[in-house]
Structure 1
Amino acid sequence: MRERPGKMRRWLPLAILILAMALGYALGWHRYLTLAELIRHQDQLDALVDAHYWTTVIGFCAVYVVCVALSFPGASLLTLAGGLLFGALAAGSMTAVSATLGAVIVYLVACSSLGGALKRRAGPATKRLASGLREDAFNYLLFLRLTPIFPFWLVNVVPALVDVPLRTYTLATFIGILPGTYAYAFLGSGLDSLIEAQEDADPGCVARGACSIDVSALITREMIAAFVALGVAALIPVVMKKWRRKHAGGAA
């Protein structure tokens, strides 16, 4: 019976995060994270930024942290919105810091609530995998952040379950998301011309929320190839270390 309060404290952060996530979806917060809503309210948002710049900066960062922590879809759209409202450089910097903070919150929750339980149930193969990940954690995490192969929320959780140090996790996350973050912010800063073209072609579409811009069309194959190349480059030190270890063992 004495262990029960300790167990409750350990699971409390995860329970709070899940409840907040459920509340957010129930209230429909995620429905506001659409390009149509952004375009529809752009004039009001621009006026708000002009009148209360630092307040809107803090508000944008806070919303971004919450969206990442609660794993809401639409983080890329928020980055585009930041580029449109604040410019590419400012939005890229704010987004990188905010996304990292949100990811750290998920990491800490996973450490406190899930880490111990999963470690006790881990088999030998899982422990060997965890050991290998910890050994080259920075480079592996850099690869996962640079190449969007796995969902962002999953990459936030797994390192916590295999005891990747918080400092390594934070640094790899921040550096790894910089290229994609600034790329999306740059794309967002150019949305003005696309919105104007839509309004010229269909007058009143902004007010109706009917302007249609395909965000996926903005992401070129060259951009994706560049991210993949950066990710592969992050694995070069891991491959070289294993190659040296193999040949050193053969020489011995």
Structure 2
Amino acid sequence: MKNGKLVIALAMAVLIAAYFAFDAGRFANLDYLKSQQAAIEAYRTNQPLLLAGLFFLIYVAVTALSLPGAAIMTLAVGAVFGLWWGTLLVSFASSIGATLAFLVSRYLLRDWVQGRFGDKLKAINQGIEREGGFYLFSLRLVPAFPFFVINLVMGLTPLRTPTFYWVSQLGMLAGTVVYVNAGTQLANIESLSGILSPGLIGSFVLLGIFPLAAKKTLGHLRARRAHG
């Protein structure tokens, strides 16, 4: 068991070190995407499934390793694949990657953290036991904490893996649609005047009001749950 944990920890350390050593993050930004737009469009025309598979695997890896760049990649996927295909790709890639991060956290850290900091995690554990997936849904719906933190922390709790997966996919869907839609608008910018396009303004308005709308929705759900 200890050897297995050591192998996983070393593999993750090597992958994370390689990510920063080779500055792989430079590929996960919109400036790079715009500079390579013609080549990516041509590649998508010729090999759409292969390109989608590459984006999917990279997104899963970035999320599973809790690396920076997932938000920018979501915008990039929207720019390349459009709203519907982009949403489908990101929704499953982010949920699978999050679940892998959850499992790694549970496998490597749960026993040690619960033994050492169990008293400090008592409130979270009680929340999971009391509300189950709804507790996680609350965290996913209102992006008050970075999603990678939620993935790692939830791995330290008694939450079941299937519940974590489906609640994460459902809870992150609205935010995924908003960000992918913003990416489709960013892909249409040809000059600085394009920043003022109605579609782009609408996307960023959605980005701004989404947390407020999510909080109101969450309050409504809690009220119905309390009266139910």
Aligned partner of 1:180 in structure 2 is 175
Following the alignment from structure 1 to structure 2, what is the Cα–Cα distance between the partners of residues 35 and 151? 21
Following the alignment from structure 1 to structure 2, what is the Cα–Cα distance between the partners of residues 142 and 95? 18
Matched, 1:29 2:30: no
Q: Is the 8 A contact 1:64 1:75 kept in 2?
A: yes
The number of aligned residues is 222
Following the alignment from structure 1 to structure 2, what is the Cα–Cα distance between the partners of residues 13 and 76? 26
Listed as ranges, the gaps of 5+ residues in structure 1 are 1-5, 202-210, 245-252
Aligned partner of 1:197 in structure 2 is 191
Q: Which amino acid aligns with 1:145?
A: R
Write the deviation string for residues 145-193 of structure 1: whole angstroms up to 9, x where unpaired: 1111111111001111012100111111100110011111112112233
| C-alpha RMSD of matched pairs (Å) | 2.5
Write the deviation string for residues 113-166 of structure 1: whole angstroms up to 9, x where unpaired: 101112222444634541332331311111111111111111001111012100
Whose Rg is larger? 1
Following the alignment from structure 2 to structure 1, what is the Cα–Cα distance between the partners of residues 186 and 33? 11
Counterparts of 1:87-106 in structure 2, within 5 Å, are: 87-106=82-101
Aligned partner of 1:248 in structure 2 is none
Aligned partner of 2:49 in structure 1 is 54
Candidates 206, 223, 237, aligned match of 2:210: 223
Give the drift of 1:235.
4.0
Q: TM-score, normalization: structure 1?
A: 0.79
Give the drift of 1:234.
4.8
Task: Specify the SS of the correspondent of 2:158.
Answer: coil
Give the drift of 1:103.
0.6
Q: Which amino acid aligns with 1:133?
A: I
Following the alignment from structure 2 to structure 1, what is the Cα–Cα distance between the partners of residues 51 and 112? 40
Q: Which amino acid aligns with 1:113?
A: L
Write the deviation string for residues 80-122 of structure 1: whole angstroms up to 9, x where unpaired: 1111111101100110000011111111111111011122224
Q: Is the 8 A contact 2:143 2:211 kept in 1?
A: no
Following the alignment from structure 2 to structure 1, what is the Cα–Cα distance between the partners of residues 77 and 121? 40
Write the deviation string for residues 26-47 of structure 1: whole angstroms up to 9, x where unpaired: 1100122122111111111111
Following the alignment from structure 2 to structure 1, what is the Cα–Cα distance between the partners of residues 219 and 127? 18
Matched, 1:63 2:32: no
Q: Is the 8 A contact 2:175 2:210 kept in 1?
A: no
Q: Is the 8 A contact 2:77 2:183 kept in 1?
A: yes
Task: Specify the SS of the correspondent of 2:187.
Answer: helix
Q: 1:143 to 1:27 in 2, by over 3 A?
A: same
Q: Which amino acid aligns with 2:217?
A: L
Q: 1:13 to 1:234 in 2, by over 3 A?
A: farther
Following the alignment from structure 1 to structure 2, what is the Cα–Cα distance between the partners of residues 134 and 124? 15
Give the drift of 1:17.
1.7
Give the drift of 1:232.
3.6
Report the identity percentage. Answer: 24
Q: Is the 8 A contact 2:114 2:121 kept in 1?
A: no
Q: 1:235 to 1:141 in 2, by over 3 A?
A: farther
Task: Specify the SS of the correspondent of 1:150.
Answer: coil
